[in-house]
Homo-oligomer: A and B are copies of this chain.
């Protein structure tokens, strides 16, 4: 599976159940949200601007998309809401690897550039390094209407895991 197919399979509106495990104090957080993933034209001004920020030729962008989410956590009553544009830049020599630019992350509110690869069994793996932390995300499809996502927030130094979270995402208006 290449990034084009992965993005195509992701397009749609998803109902998400997310559980976050805050490992140091064994806390469970439950989040319910709606995630909307739509295609964005490669020549969209936001795509061009993000490529410029990272000094990348916008021609290298493949299957850019926008992700928007809106939900509620049981941790506090604050509504969780956001949107970001994501721009995959496949490695010309290794089509299952590349960079993923994002104009705003979930863990941080600053732009990020992560390294992705897609494994033999179709799991999308994204590693993003921030100043004080690193995020590792795995996303895979169980079937066309169900996808799973595991996100780990690690200390930037390396191996310590701060938060492990799991989302099960079901395409809306579909039977699981």
Number of copies: 2
Contact check, A168 vs B23: say whether CB atoms are below 8 A apart.
Answer: yes
Answer whether residue A164 sits at the interface, using C-beta atoms and an 8 A cutoff: yes
| Known pairs A17-B28, A26-B17, A119-B120; A150 contacts B175 (CB<8 A) | no
Q: Does A93 contact B (CB under 8 A)?
A: no
- Given A142-B161, A160-B175, A164-B168; 19 other pairs, CB 8 A cutoff: A17-B28, A19-B19, A19-B21, A23-B146, A23-B170, A23-B176, A24-B176, A26-B32, A28-B28, A28-B30, A119-B119, A119-B120, A136-B142, A142-B154, A148-B164, A160-B176, A161-B168, A161-B176, A166-B166
17 pairs from A and B in contact (CB 8 Å cutoff)? A17-B26, A17-B28, A19-B28, A21-B166, A21-B168, A23-B146, A23-B176, A119-B119, A120-B120, A123-B123, A136-B142, A143-B161, A146-B161, A146-B164, A148-B150, A161-B176, A164-B166
